[in-house]
Amino acid sequence: MEIRAPYPNELDEMLELMCRAFNLDIEPARDIFYSDPFFDLLERRVLVDAGRIISCLTIVPGVVVLGAAHIPVAGIAGVATDEAFRRRGYAGALLRDTIRLLYEKKVPLSMLYPFSPRYYRKFGWETASVEWWCEIPSRLLPPYSESRFVRPYRTGDMEHLRRLHDVHLQNTAGSFVREPSRWQWVLRQKYQTVVADFHGAIEGYMIYEVQAGRNRVEVREVIFTTSRAHRALLGFLSSANLAGTVGVCSPVYRVQQWSTWLTDNEDDLLSQVQGGLRPTYMLRITHLPALIECLRPRWRNWQGAIRLVVDDSFVPGGKHQALLVADGVDKPAQATDWARGNIHVWSQIVGGYLSPAEAFSTGLITLSQPEIVEVLEDLFPKYYPFTTLAERF
């Protein structure tokens, strides 16, 4: 058995395995597989036994924004195992080797969207994002008159979409920096894009998918910088006759943007609107010192030093260690203050999902002295991270 990048002549075999595992039609999948802007043989991993690919996965590189920090992240996607070989530990062996590889490459974080959180938790990933989701009959959305300013996306609009997304990055932790290749991936042909254009001032856009067979439209990304652009895009969903139902997800702190419904029968809301909270991505620290180097520049006003120990049975020595000091501050030979916890809780803390005070209060981390928690609160603020459907891999 060996784990490695696939050889070029093995790519079709890898694709066929993924199609069987995820019940995909091979021809449409082939076009996506080979036209992927992130396509890189070295970012694909296979487990091969007796000349046959048993398991595979794809590493999707990116840069995620947490506050002012831009952090390289390795997304894990397309984890698949041949049905005849499942429940024998092959996928687990592939994931363990991938953790080793990311550690050796000093990649700070790894992210994935799990089919089973319980399964990936065994390998150190932990839930780090929760979103609000809702299924709304389109007739309940307000038919705002500003919808007349919504028009289809044109190639010349890209600079405006980049500008709007940059504003989104500043206000939404967990989102990805969107370089040209990622924009290419987001604006794939099966999705449609519209913009809110007020006489040349583009103040919002929406990427959506019409699922005709389900009489449903799925909002994959909606970003706006003004209230009139917000009304325009919601009014478009209400009045464009796209589908009977609109599916949307949102950061929990922006639920109110989707909570204005028009009806004279409240029973409609009870029987036809569905929604709630659900977990989205899982996060894992893969190289703590590299992660801390990304975070240090935002700690310039702090003069202390704390030794951080993160227990992780999947890395050499069974733990990560790093010294928390501000950028430009000399590292002391020894720090008397320390904090410690396992890979799961610290992955949630550094990702902004769980605050250090919450972790300490529930006994999930230990500290050399209780007062350190106030310092850690400043170093690792809570963000309520979120990624749009358009960004997910």
* Summary mean pLDDT of the chain: 92
70-114 pLDDT tens trace: 999 999 999 999 999 998 999 999 999 999 999 999 999 999 999
Contact 356, 308 (CB under 8 A): no
User: Is the predicted pLDDT of residue 141 greater than 80, yes or no?
Assistant: yes
> What CA–CA distance (Å, rounded) separates 58 from 40?
9
> What CA–CA distance (Å, rounded) separates 216 from 200?
30
Contact 49, 33 (CB under 8 A): no
Amino acid 385 reads P
Give the residue-averaged pLDDT of 251-257. 88
List all residues 6 or more positions away from 296 whose beta carbon is below 8 Å from its beta carbon.
325, 326, 327
**Per-residue confidence (pLDDT) for residue 317, from 0 to 100:** 96
Domain 284-379 has CATH 3.30.1050.10: yes
Contact 327, 296 (CB under 8 A): yes
Crossing angle of the two packed helices 11-22 and 26-35, in degrees rounded to 10: 130
Percent helix, strand, coil in the chain, to 5, is 40, 30, 30
Same fold, 2-107 and 132-279: yes
Domain ranges of the chain: 2-107, 132-279, 284-379
Percent of the chain beyond pLDDT 70?
98
Phi-psi region of 130 (alpha: psi -120 to 50; beta: other; left: phi over 0): beta
Contact 209, 218 (CB under 8 A): yes
- Token duo for residue 49: 């036994």
**Per-residue confidence (pLDDT) for residue 207, from 0 to 100:** 97
List the alpha helices (DSSP H) in the chain: 11-22, 26-35, 90-104, 117-121, 158-171, 180-186, 227-239, 266-272, 288-295, 343-350, 356-361, 372-379
**Per-residue confidence (pLDDT) for residue 42, from 0 to 100:** 82
196-230 pLDDT tens trace: 999 999 999 999 999 988 999 999 999 999 999 99
Give the residue-averaged pLDDT of 154-176. 94
User: Is the predicted pLDDT of residue 240 greater than 90, yes or no?
Assistant: no
Give the residue-averaged pLDDT of 137-142. 90
Closest CA to 38 of 193, 155, 180: 180
**Per-residue confidence (pLDDT) for residue 30, from 0 to 100:** 87
CATH architecture of the domain with residue range 2-107: 3-Layer(aba) Sandwich (3.40)
Contact 270, 301 (CB under 8 A): no
User: Is the predicted pLDDT of residue 148 greater than 70, yes or no?
Assistant: yes
Percent of the chain beyond pLDDT 90?
76
Q: How far is CA 42 from CA 31, 62, 101, 185, in A?
A: 19, 15, 11, 19
Contact 137, 103 (CB under 8 A): no
Give the residue-averaged pLDDT of 26-42. 80
Handedness of CA 110, 340, 289, 315 (dihedral sign): negative
**Per-residue confidence (pLDDT) for residue 133, from 0 to 100:** 95
Q: How far is CA 146 from CA 73, 178, 237, 245, 357, in A?
A: 39, 28, 12, 21, 44
**Per-residue confidence (pLDDT) for residue 333, from 0 to 100:** 59
DSSP secondary-structure letter at 142?
Answer: -
> What CA–CA distance (Å, rounded) separates 58 from 70?
22
Of the pLDDT bands very low, low, confident and very high (cuts 50, 70, 90), residue 182 is confident
List all residues 6 or more positions away from 303 whose beta carbon is below 8 Å from its beta carbon.
326, 329
> What CA–CA distance (Å, rounded) separates 368 from 215?
57
pTM attached to this predicted model: 0.92
Q: Class for domain 132-279, per CATH?
A: alpha beta
Neighbours of 318 (CB within 10 A): 9
Closest CA to 228 of 158, 145, 170: 145
**Per-residue confidence (pLDDT) for residue 260, from 0 to 100:** 80
Give the residue-averaged pLDDT of 153-159. 94
- Phi, psi of 43, deg, nearest 5: -95, 5
323-365 pLDDT tens trace: 999 887 777 657 789 999 999 999 999 999 999 999 999 999 9
**Per-residue confidence (pLDDT) for residue 131, from 0 to 100:** 96
> What CA–CA distance (Å, rounded) separates 110 from 122?
15
Give the residue-averaged pLDDT of 274-283. 95
